[in-house]
């Protein structure tokens, strides 16, 4: 199989929670996870790894899992991030998959709603940076997201189109003693190539098997701030991207006219009552 669905480090991991919290916008829902429904984004705290200079397979991972092939770590549990994206109104799709049908390998690309991914550096909250600017093609040096500086001013998502990330939702696997949420177990939070258990995956045909030949770190993208030193805290912003093919929401129905009630009693309340 092209995609390994195996449990990784022995960490406590539960299935994505059933009852979802109801909190005001802009309030931390879980540790390191803040939802702002009015602005249409989820903010997640993390830290810069810096990534290997030669190759990358993920943008973001869980601490203690895939730092050797990622740009940043996120402090949030995968199931908490999953729940926050649900609360933002997104419906998860499915990670990439591959299976043999006779002698033919049938591949299914990752599916799900598009999610813009930006870095918000401490000290510059009003200037989100497209995360893909810090990832470059190994062969050409071209950034994954070639957005021009200024396009993301104010937190807009127009600067994230080059990333092509989708909320795929990872997978659950039933074990003998508990259920494994694979994005938490294996650390595959935001991937650049397809692992098959990704929480957020790119719309790409590249599998993790041999995926270290595609992307490299771009620590000083043209026109954008240099990636801070390893260990520096930052916020990763996940923004809902409007679907241009979606039908417009229907206009709300007018309120029904109320029938006239009895006239007011000028004498006041009935003393017999």
3-state secondary structure 158-223: HHHCCCCEEECCCCEEECCCCEEEHHHHHCEEEECCECCCCCEEECCCCECCCHHHCEEECCCCCC
- Inform me whether the pLDDT recorded for 266 exceeds 70: no
Between these two residues, 207 and 44, which has the higher pLDDT value?
44
Residue 131 has pLDDT above 90, yes or no: yes
Q: Which of 145, 91, 84, 86 minimizes the C-alpha distance to 118?
A: 145
Residue 168 has pLDDT above 80, yes or no: yes
The domain spans of the chain are 34-240
Reported confidence tier of residue 53, pLDDT bands at 50, 70, 90: confident
* Distance of alpha carbon 128 from alpha carbon 155, whole angstroms: 6
What tokens does 159 get?
């600067």
> What's the confidence (pLDDT) of residue 30?
96
Most confident of 9-18, 56-65, 163-172: 56-65
How large is the average pLDDT for residues 97-103? 84
**pLDDT higher at 22 or 161:** 22
Q: Quote the mean pLDDT of the chain.
A: 80
Question: Under DSSP, is residue 106 helix (H, G, I), strand (E, B) or coil?
Answer: strand
> What's the token pair of residue 150?
């200024």
> Is the confidence at residue 246, as pLDDT, over 60?
no
Give the model's pLDDT for residue 51.
Answer: 81
Angle at 41 between CA 226 and CA 188, to 5 degrees: 70
State mean pLDDT over 178-182: 92
pLDDT at position 118: 95
Between 9-18, 41-50, 89-98, the lowest mean confidence (pLDDT) is in 9-18
CA distances in angstroms from 44 to 2, 18, 109, 173, listed in the order given: 30, 21, 26, 25
Return the top range by mean pLDDT from 63-67, 159-163, 269-273: 63-67
Q: Is 245 helix (H, G, I), strand (E, B) or coil?
A: coil
Where does the pLDDT of residue 245 fall: very low under 50, low under 70, confident under 90, or very high at 90 and above? low
pLDDT for position 11:
37
The residue with greater pLDDT, 269 or 166, is 166
Which run of H or of E encompasses 80? helix 78-87
pLDDT at 138: 92
Residue of 51 and 15 predicted with greater confidence:
51
pLDDT cut 90: percent of the chain above it: 53
The span from the CA of 88 to the CA of 85, in Å, is 5
The alpha carbon torsion through 52, 155, 199, 235 (nearest 10 deg) reads 50
If one counts every other C-beta atom within 10 angstroms of the C-beta of residue 93, the result is 15
Q: Are 188 and 73 in contact (CB under 8 A)?
A: no
Q: Cα-flanking dihedrals φ and ψ of residue 197, to 5°?
A: -130, 20
* Mean pLDDT of all residues in 112-139: 92
128 vs 255: CA distance, rounded Å = 41
């Amino acid at each position: 199989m092209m995609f390994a669905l195996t449990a990784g480090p022995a960490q406590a991991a539960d299935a994505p929670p059933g009852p979802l919290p109801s909190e005001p916008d802009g309030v931390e829902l879980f540790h390191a996870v803040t939802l702002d429904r009015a602005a249409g984004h989820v903010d997640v705290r993390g830290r810069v790894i810096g990534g290997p200079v030669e190759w990358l397979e993920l943008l973001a991972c869980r601490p203690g899992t895939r730092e050797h092939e990622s740009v940043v770590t996120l402090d949030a549990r995968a199931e908490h991030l999953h729940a926050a994206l649900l609360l933002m109104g997104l419906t998860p799709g499915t990670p990439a998959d591959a299976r043999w049908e006779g002698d033919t390998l049938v591949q299914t690309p990752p599916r799900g709603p598009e999610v813009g991914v930006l870095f918000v550096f401490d000290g510059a909250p009003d200037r989100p940076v497209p995360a893909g600017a810090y990832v470059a093609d190994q062969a050409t040096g071209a950034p994954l997201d070639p957005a021009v500086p200024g396009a993301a001013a104010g937190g807009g998502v127009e600067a994230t189109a080059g990333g092509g990330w989708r909320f795929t939702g990872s997978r659950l696997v039933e074990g003998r003693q508990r259920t494994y949420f694979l994005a938490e177990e294996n650390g595959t939070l935001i991937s650049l190539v397809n692992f098959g258990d990704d929480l957020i995956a790119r719309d790409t045909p590249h599998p993790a098997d041999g995926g270290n030949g595609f992307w490299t770190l771009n620590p000083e993208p043209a026109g954008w701030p240099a990636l801070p030193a390893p260990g520096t805290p930052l916020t990763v912003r996940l923004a809902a991207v409007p679907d241009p093919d979606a039908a417009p929401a229907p206009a709300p129905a007018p309120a029904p006219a109320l029938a006239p009630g009895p006239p007011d009693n000028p004498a006041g309340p009935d003393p017999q009552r």
